[in-house]
Chain A
Amino acid sequence: MGYLSLLIFLPLFFALVIWVLPKRFEPMFQALSIGVSAAQVIISAALYYMYSLSPEGFRFAEHADWIYLQLGTLGSLDIDYFVAVDGLSVGLVLLTSIVMFIAAIASNEIKENKRGYFALFNLLGTAVMGVFCALDFFLFYVFYELMLLPLYFLIGMWGGPNREYASVKFFIYTLFGSVFMLLVMAGLYFSVTDPGTGHHTFNMLHMMDEANYSRDAIFSIGSEQAVLFGLPARLIGFAVLFIAFAIKIPVVPLHTWLPDAHVEAPTPISIILAGILLKIGAYGIIRLCLGIFPDGQVYFSYWIGVIGMVSILYGAFNALASSDLKRMIAFSSISHMGFVVLGIASLTSEGLNGAVYQMISHGVLSAMLFFIAGVLYNRVHDRYIPNFRGLALQMPRYTTFVVIAFFASLGLPGMSGFIGEVFTLMGAFKSESVNQLLPRWFAIVSATGILFGAAYFLWTLQRMFFGARRFFGGEAWHRALTDLSARELFVLLPLGLTTIILGVYPSIIFDVTNLSMNTIADHAYRSGSVYLNMLKVIFGL
């Protein structure tokens, strides 16, 4: 068993352990989960370090036959257990384990049915880890869908008052995207053959290579037979995958599940949602959409840029208008993920590197922000911004971390949010002169998003933390609102340090991502343009 398998299946094993342990071990479940994720942090940090020594290509690969079916006329169905990481995923793997660790610590607000909670929590850990590592499309899909059920229960059973609605909405939205992905996956499978064995394959790396596509298949490159509903099949394939992942990110017209899910979810699940789940959407676009359908990316780049820009602004405006702290943070997530989409759409090296950086930075920051919201909520069970005033006097240490998190998020230079936003904007700005995909004004308009970001963060800071102490709950709240406990300090301190370190020394990430992202950007733009020209010749687009 390799490192990655260990990383993936460790939580699953403990999920089963927790499920079968007798009831009297219940107090230990949280400690067990923290232990599991701590072990994951150590393993993935080691992997990250090892990868950074020679950051090129896919490494730590594990390959095993999983499902092999001989199906007569269709040939054989080859599904492999194939996991490996490159510069794109190794950082996200590390981020995942860190966020899971934080979430496990934040889980002590869970009081009832701990067995179910921690079993599902660990099951979720396996699924998200698997998504980032899988390089076989079928395996990826299995992990991708495996996330849904645990999350549904985690939100629905331990969530807020409106949790039923929020969990069902989340489930339906995501499943809607992914069932169509299933069709594209099957179509790709029949289009691609493994050059080694001559069988059809789900191997993503083979799907990214033009040479492996057969002539008369559904997703063949440059074939007039590749038509669905009278449109080029490859563009439809791209659109389907993009919509599936865009729901996860989420981008603006498809985002409405996110505020509900975030507001209703318990703190640790909000942390996981914002810290990891949203990244899976962006990861899927970079890995699958850009990798497999680069022609679609080149073709739709303009509109994806528009979507990114709209998400940035719309998210920011909504955040400005939110009076629930958690809702405000949820909308700020949409705004920040908009930068990732914009960076991807630019298809430049800066844009994609910035996108990955922004993903990691936002992963850390959103975990911090939701934890901060949770701190308040756990004390007084209220998150309504106007209900608080002068918290800085009441909880000075807490306020320090809030200030760090807010300023890092609004893009103060020297902190991590700044680098991610600047690089994605640079990519978008450069696009017009490099590949003519996005006009310059996209970057300029999107940059105002930073301004609005500053507005809602600072305004919130001013309303809640400054001024004289005045709380909606009166004397009871005065007593309840105690400053950070040691446990909370233990969570916030490393997160705060991380965002500063990342901001001051961004090469920690760029050194690892750079080569991989350059390859991806290069492949996507170059082969994308070539394939798209073929499509244009055939279909007269």
Chain B
Amino acid sequence: MMNNLNATVLLEQITGSLPYFLPEIVCSLVFIVAIFIDLFTRKQSRSLVPFFVFAGLLLALFFTLDQFRMVKEEIWLFNGMIRLSPAGIIYKLLFLLAAMVTHILSIRSKAIRLAPKGYAEFFIMLPVFIVGLNIMSMSSHLLMIFLGMEMVSIASYILVAYMAEQPRSAEAAVKYALFGALSSAVMLYGISLLYGLTGTLSLQGSTFLANLSKAPEYISALAILMVLAGFLYKISAVPFHFYVPDVYEGTPAPVIAFLSTAPKAAGFAVLFTFIGVFTLPMESYHLVWPKFNWENILVFISICTMTLGNLSALAQKNVKRMMAYSSIAHTGFMMMPLLVFSEMSAASLVFYIVVYVLMNLAIFLLVGHMEDAYGATELESYKGLAAFNPLLSVCMVIVLASLVGLPPTGGFTGKFLVFSSVLEAYRISHNPWLLYLLVAAVLNTVIALFFYLRLPLYMYFRKAEKIYTSKTPLYLLVIMCLLVAGILMAGVFPSELVKWISAHTAETAQIRFK
């Protein structure tokens, strides 16, 4: 009888949760159906699968947007395995945006069209990504976090590996999978330790932290560090960044446009959730938990990440490798708001991520176009581009200014918000490490200028050695202009965007103080 009742409640829970899970269900169905479509229509039509997938993404987008209406405060689905919060929906929207832009960039991409192992597979992977990423951004249960991350990781390995043609990119793919598998294993071990210490895998409520506090100090710190390793790998923070430049270099630009944005954003969503557990619901909200000094460890990793990323980027001659290190450096900046668990830091993190996604999509749009049209991958091969492609070049300069963090672009506003939240944390905790972090971040901005400037330097100051004949397709220009308009709007009139973001993220941060 008891069992029956439980089963009924369980079933009700599940059926009750389904309406909130529509985007993910849609994506899963699209994935399965697309495989069959590909199987049966491969000979007749190549464009059917991409078309179908895009339609599926649009449907998922519709359901995701609908969730803003349905979800006003966070709700728990599937017996507390999934937590759907307004902030999570923003992330989901971002993933879809990245996926759709990537989709459009990929349709004409030579590298993907001519991929020997098939053209449609690439598009079929996109909905899988979305499901995994969505689960990552919505989970507050270690098992679900692991599940989501693995799903994304495996999808990434497939994408990188099946695009690999030259031995070099094959090497990158193997590296990627190997490092990834290792970090997953370490993380899983950490999770099992945590489970052993606390008796629960759910991050919801105070049981987890209360039990963990009773555990021996070293073991709990070790377990946390191991789990952290998995997250740091996903956001490509030092010292888990080795694979990034190789993977970027060996993979077509549209794929990187996606891999450098969405999984990283999801990684930050997970990290934010995880760290949130350790903020004590007290008068001050900085990360105080006697057993593990989050603040100093994160500061240290953040400083190392941004400095190493920027310094390595200085030496690069390949645009993709340069952007790989740039994205590592940005990881360092994005880690800054994690140090403070406040409404402001939650909002500034999401704001920075939104702008980062726009910037990276724009950069890889250009890189992809250059690769396709001229086979250009080196900085040298961008010489004198501006004279032939004025609009694209101007857009590029704005994007680069935003990556450096110059006003009036979104990158500047993001940096300003991030710095402000750290400064605010310093005012409360007076931890000198936070000051070192700020100084390091500021110095890094100057270093970053060096290598970001090299792109406009080649595009504008050097004379072209060849004639750039191929016309930029109109749809690329339109997307580029939209992305740049978004970046500029986020810089000149950020009020609405920040208001919207903080309205959705406020609760995520607040919930811990109640």
By a CB distance below 8 angstroms, the chain A residues around B419 are 182-183, 186
By a CB distance below 8 angstroms, the chain A residues around B445 are 175, 179
Within 8 A of B (CB), among A140-187: 141-142, 145-146, 148-149, 152-153, 156-157, 163-164, 167-168, 171-172, 175-176, 179-180, 182-183, 186-187
Question: Is A69 touching B495 in the complex (CB atoms < 8 A)?
Answer: yes
By a CB distance below 8 angstroms, the chain B residues around A433 are none
A171–B406 Cα distance when bound, in Å, is 12
By a CB distance below 8 angstroms, the chain B residues around A113 are 387
- How many residues of chain B are within 8 Å of chain A by beta carbon? 48
CB distance from B379 to the nearest CB of A (A): 13
Question: Is A142 touching B450 in the complex (CB atoms < 8 A)?
Answer: no
Partner of A73, one of B342, B404, B416, B450: B342
Known: A69-B494, A182-B442, A229-B432. A74 touches B424 (CB 8 A): yes
Is B486 located at the chain interface by the 8 A CB criterion?
no
A68–B450 Cα distance when bound, in Å, is 33
A187–B424 Cα distance when bound, in Å, is 9
By a CB distance below 8 angstroms, the chain B residues around A149 are 397, 401, 406
Question: Is B406 touching A145 in the complex (CB atoms < 8 A)?
Answer: yes
Residue among A73, A167, A228 with the highest chain B CB neighbour number at 10 A: A73
CB distance from B422 to the nearest CB of A (A): 9
Is A118 located at the chain interface by the 8 A CB criterion?
no
Known: A142-B407, A146-B408, A217-B427. A71 touches B502 (CB 8 A): yes
Is A197 located at the chain interface by the 8 A CB criterion?
no
A142–B442 Cα distance when bound, in Å, is 16
Question: Is A72 touching B435 in the complex (CB atoms < 8 A)?
Answer: no
Known: A72-B502, A153-B460. A171 touches B449 (CB 8 A): yes
Within 8 A of A (CB), among B419-433: 419-421, 423-424, 426-427, 430, 432
A69–B503 Cα distance when bound, in Å, is 11
A148–B406 Cα distance when bound, in Å, is 9
By a CB distance below 8 angstroms, the chain A residues around B430 are 225
By a CB distance below 8 angstroms, the chain A residues around B424 are 73-74, 190
Within 8 A of A (CB), among B261-294: 285
| A-contact 0/1 string along B395-419, CB 8 Å cutoff | 0010001001111100010011001
Known: A148-B406, A183-B419, A187-B423. A72 touches B442 (CB 8 A): no
Is B438 located at the chain interface by the 8 A CB criterion?
yes
By a CB distance below 8 angstroms, the chain A residues around B46 are none
A286–B81 Cα distance when bound, in Å, is 60
Smallest Cβ-Cβ distance to A173: which chain B residue: B446
By a CB distance below 8 angstroms, the chain B residues around A146 are 406-408
Is A218 located at the chain interface by the 8 A CB criterion?
yes
Smallest Cβ-Cβ distance to A216: which chain B residue: B427
Is A189 located at the chain interface by the 8 A CB criterion?
yes
Known: A74-B424, A145-B406, A164-B457. A69 touches B502 (CB 8 A): yes
A392–B416 Cα distance when bound, in Å, is 56
Is A64 located at the chain interface by the 8 A CB criterion?
no
Is A541 located at the chain interface by the 8 A CB criterion?
no
| Interchain residue pairs A-B with the least CB separation, the first 3 | A72-B343, A142-B407, A71-B344
4 more CB-based (< 8 A) A-B contacts, given A168-B453, A183-B423, A187-B423: A74-B420, A77-B420, A156-B461, A175-B449
- Chain A residues at the B interface, C-beta cutoff of 8 Å: 67-74, 77, 113, 116, 141-142, 145-146, 148-149, 152-153, 156-157, 163-164, 167-168, 171-172, 175-176, 179-180, 182-183, 186-187, 189-190, 216-218, 225, 228-229
Could you write out 28 A-B pairs with CB less than 8 Å apart?
A67-B493, A67-B494, A70-B499, A71-B343, A72-B509, A73-B424, A74-B424, A145-B407, A145-B412, A149-B406, A156-B460, A157-B460, A157-B461, A163-B461, A167-B461, A171-B453, A175-B406, A175-B445, A179-B442, A182-B415, A183-B423, A183-B442, A186-B416, A186-B419, A186-B423, A189-B420, A218-B427, A229-B432
